[in-house]
């Protein structure tokens, strides 16, 4: 068993959890292998996913024994468009925002891209895999860069930095602007979608706010021509019958969304209280996750792993650690783990 902070095999480092662990949380199987004595079931707070999400009906069995009809996918895109504040022909459904961001380098004709960082690592990886010259720069200087395309996560992951979408669109000028709004459902008025122009692309995630990440549903939102090109790449069946049924129903449930936004703020404040009481300093986040500072974040993450609690640390700063919400049944367990890991 590795000691706290033990280099490549530490709980939230790049060891057996692989390169993907540098980009996002999760990977419970690897965490179990590194902490074989940890109590089960694990409490995974390494991601920013709403733990108490929307619970609607799945697609009927009959819908799962046939291929989805393109008209049903179009209905899903129309439901999303209504929720986002744009036209249906501007929305293309994809199997998760991750799939959407990895499509973009092949759709946008650019030679150089600047990414506001530190941020979600898959963006830089996607552009570099496409052999596009990629630079990660501070968010404050993003719009000063001489580049063909700009990428900004808004709200940012992991620090929660957020700029009104209308300001981002105006500052980009004639360059391509990619805005990842995977966490904007908690602050919908900050979205850039109502202010789109021909060279703005927005990525939206369904799973984080609605707590259905395994459904694999997201959207690329942009000009009708860009949406058409996304659909041409993904084909007639970009998402599953379950994604269509649950996406349509969830986006129509506006009362649930309003109630959930309020409850997430309350949960965020409760989590802040637990973290500050157990020696963390809150430095950022959103209602779905909190970014905290601790002198030896990797060591603390390891000790939490021994308690069966999975968190997220970051290679660019060994003092940062991120916590998602534990869910209504797990507050006491998280508190006990935080106290035991000091």
The dotted CATH code for 61-252 is 3.40.640.10
Helix (H, G, I), strand (E, B), or coil: what is residue 180? strand
Asked if 51 contacts 25 with a C-beta cutoff of 8 angstroms, the reply is no
Locate the domains of the chain by residue range: 7-52+256-340, 61-252
Residues paired with 317 in a beta bridge:
314
Query: Domain 7-52+256-340 belongs to what topology?
Result: 3.90.1150
Q: Using DSSP bridges, classify how beta strands 112-117 and 149-153 pair: parallel, antiparallel or unpaired.
A: parallel
User: What is the reported pTM?
Assistant: 0.92
Report the Cα 153 to chain-centroid distance in Å. 9
Residue 302: which of 289, 292, 312 has the closest Cα?
Answer: 312
Q: What is the C-alpha separation between 209 and 10, in angstroms, rounded?
A: 30
Q: What is the C-alpha separation between 257 and 263, in angstroms, rounded?
A: 10
Q: Give, for all 342 residues of the chain, the pLDDT tens digit.
A: 343 333 333 333 333 334 344 555 678 999 999 999 999 999 999 999 999 999 988 899 998 999 999 999 999 999 999 999 999 999 999 999 999 999 999 999 999 999 999 999 999 999 999 999 999 999 999 999 999 999 999 999 999 999 999 999 999 999 999 999 999 999 999 999 999 999 999 999 999 999 999 999 999 999 999 999 999 999 999 999 999 999 999 999 999 999 999 999 999 999 999 999 999 999 999 999 999 999 999 999 999 999 999 999 998 899 999 999 999 999 999 999 999 999
Residue 209 phi, psi dihedral angles, 5° rounding: -75, -40
Helix (H, G, I), strand (E, B), or coil: what is residue 107? coil
Q: Which residues, in sequence order, are CB contacts of 109 under 8 Å at separation 6+?
A: none
Total residue count of the chain as it appears in this document: 342
Query: In which order are the strands placed within the sheet that holds 176-180?
Result: 91-94, 218-221, 200-205, 176-180, 149-153, 112-117, 133-138
Asked if 187 contacts 161 with a C-beta cutoff of 8 angstroms, the reply is no
pLDDT value for 23 = 54
Asked if 116 contacts 137 with a C-beta cutoff of 8 angstroms, the reply is yes
pLDDT value for 26 = 73
Residue 178: which of 259, 124, 141 has the closest Cα?
Answer: 124
Which two three-digit tokens encode residue 12?
Answer: 């939230």
Q: What is the C-alpha separation between 12 and 122, in angstroms, rounded?
A: 17
Q: What is the C-alpha separation between 150 and 252, in angstroms, rounded?
A: 32
Q: Using DSSP bridges, classify how beta strands 218-221 and 200-205 pair: parallel, antiparallel or unpaired.
A: antiparallel
Which two three-digit tokens encode residue 108?
Answer: 């946008």
Query: In which order are the strands placed within the sheet that holds 281-286?
Result: 281-286, 289-293, 317-324, 312-314
Q: What is the C-alpha separation between 319 and 213, in angstroms, rounded?
A: 28
**Which ranges constitute the DSSP H helices of the chain?**
28-34, 61-64, 70-84, 97-103, 122-129, 165-172, 207-210, 224-234, 241-252, 254-277, 297-306, 331-340
């Amino acid at each position: 068993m590795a000691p706290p902070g033990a280099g490549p095999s530490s709980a939230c480092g790049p060891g057996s959890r692989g390169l993907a662990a540098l980009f996002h949380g999760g990977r419970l199987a690897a965490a179990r292998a590194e902490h074989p004595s940890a109590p089960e079931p694990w409490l995974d707070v390494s991601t920013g996913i709403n733990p108490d999400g929307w619970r609607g009906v799945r697609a009927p069995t009959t819908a799962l024994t046939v291929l989805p009809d393109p008209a049903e996918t179009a209905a899903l895109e129309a439901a999303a468009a209504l929720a986002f504040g744009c036209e249906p022909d501007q929305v293309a459904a994809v199997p998760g925002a991750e799939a959407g961001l990895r499509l973009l380098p092949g759709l946008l004709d650019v030679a150089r891209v600047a990414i506001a960082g530190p941020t979600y690592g898959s963006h830089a990886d996607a552009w570099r895999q496409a052999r596009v010259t990629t630079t990660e720069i501070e968010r404050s200087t993003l719009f000063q860069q001489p580049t063909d395309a700009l990428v900004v996560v808004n709200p940012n992951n992991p620090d929660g930095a957020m700029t009104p979408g209308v300001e981002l669109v105006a500052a980009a000028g004639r360059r391509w602007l990619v805005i990842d709004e995977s966490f904007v459902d908690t602050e919908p008025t900050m979205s850039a979608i109502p202010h789109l122009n021909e060279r703005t692309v927005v990525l939206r995630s369904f799973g984080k706010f609605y707590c259905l990440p395994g459904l694999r549903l997201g959207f690329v939102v942009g000009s009708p021509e860009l949406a058409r090109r996304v659909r041409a790449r993904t084909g007639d069946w970009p998402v599953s019958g379950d994604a269509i049924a649950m996406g349509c129903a969830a986006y129509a449930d506006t009362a649930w969304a309003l109630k959930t936004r309020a409850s997430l703020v309350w949960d965020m404040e409760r989590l802040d209280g637990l973290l500050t009481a157990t020696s963390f300093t809150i430095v950022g986040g959103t209602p779905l996750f909190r970014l905290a500072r601790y002198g030896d974040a990797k060591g603390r993450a390891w000790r939490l792993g021994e308690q069966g609690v999975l968190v997220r640390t970051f290679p660019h700063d060994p003092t940062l650690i991120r916590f998602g919400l534990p869910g209504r049944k797990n507050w006491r367990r998280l508190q006990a783990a935080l106290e035991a890991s000091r």
